[in-house]
Structure 1
């Protein structure tokens, strides 16, 4: 498996103790190398800023670039800009677009993350940008154009990606912890898209403490059927490892088995698939998960190394209530 990585991505440096820090990539690359991945240094594209401005308001992009020249500036309570942020974010966009051009399965081991960044920074009703600068997943999807699909499995709803793609007939599917219980507070089933995009926005909010058993059910009953009917040309997976039960910033009960389950389901579609790092703040999970992902892609090895979790009765009841709501909205556009 090809992994795009550069030390430039570590130049986005927090001015204070922060969960989204450069050392996340050290653990990712360690896991990738143990699995035998091919590590590739991405190149900075000459058209990178035009690509960024194809998605984000120019005034927002210019603001970020000014802040980079200052260095060590907080955009909001969660999100910062350092002297190396612009180079890191621009190279992340370059890597995603190059991976699209190669039309093969790859992992873009880049930061800062992007799926909370909307047209002008904060997206929808979110109180902050959630550690994100430029929305690399949305930029990649719009670069692909017709037939692009984004599958977001970060524990937090990708409000920025939803905002950007909401009126476009490009598929966005998000599984995330229910917005009543977690930032950014968006991602309800009734948010289905508008105009040309109506029906192409699919939200699957899951109650806190949902286990592997019911996550697999959601993948089988919603994610896979919609993907198959859409027939994507290329799939971008916004990969957040923070839905894992050991992550410090969320409340799900998933193991690497859920991750491998959804990865395998997507890979079985036999379409170019780009895994793009978003969140995930337990360093051990990042390392183990990356290693398992590479082994799955390269050797078809389904080896989570963790026992499956089951959902307790109270949470299972809430899950069924939410899934009825999901199916009532999504089922208007797709056969479930």
Structure 2
């Protein structure tokens, strides 16, 4: 496990104690409240958790795409190492610097391509724009680059497709276009925010295989955000489980998915058909974690999962537990993890 204080000096991305808050009419929302993790070169880190756990806000904080009228990073650091080996804290970077980084050194694939692609420009123009901006190529060279990227991501007849508009393509094709756009400048880090959620199972498998193949070819690191544990098993080297704006368990993917130690992770896995530790019976109802996700406007002392946890004691509600090592390369934010594992 990476030391949460020092980290790996060769990490592509090192996030430390990230806190991202939003001002709303109903109060201060602490969406991310002290997140730390590392991503090594060529490594895939999956961040999982329920809706509202802070996964997407973490990615937007890294990209510098927060709504500045309401959201802000109030504490922490985001250290990024670019292609040339230069290191900088993205929290302190100017907007001009972030514009150079976005799309070039760090790219992002969003969940819904129709809301990310401009409907009035051809897909070729949209891919070429990134190539022209970050690589300084001519429009003709950028068009050829766009065609080549469409070919790489498996879109048939790219010479024709390059002149089509987003609405002329299927959902799977549009997602491939988003991947082509994100990878057109060979980024060091790719952030994929639920990139396969809206796709059917067959197309989802094709997209995941494509991302793994391109990762091997380019050597990029990936931050993969999802709520689908099946996808995590397919793509990740390491996994961080988020709950209530915090990472509650972190480790290599095999350890976390086969030997979960935090009660929340155990509950997530028990809610997936065929993975319950106590076994599934025919016709049995799916397990559901009792209670609701905590309101980020009303943070209470102690573990955010304590109100829903059957193992919680008074100490859990008094102070926020630290991440403690629960196995080789695995850690959980829980003082009762041994009882949870033994249950």
Compute the TM-score of the two structures, normalised by the length of structure 2: 0.32
More helix by share: 1
More strand by share: 2
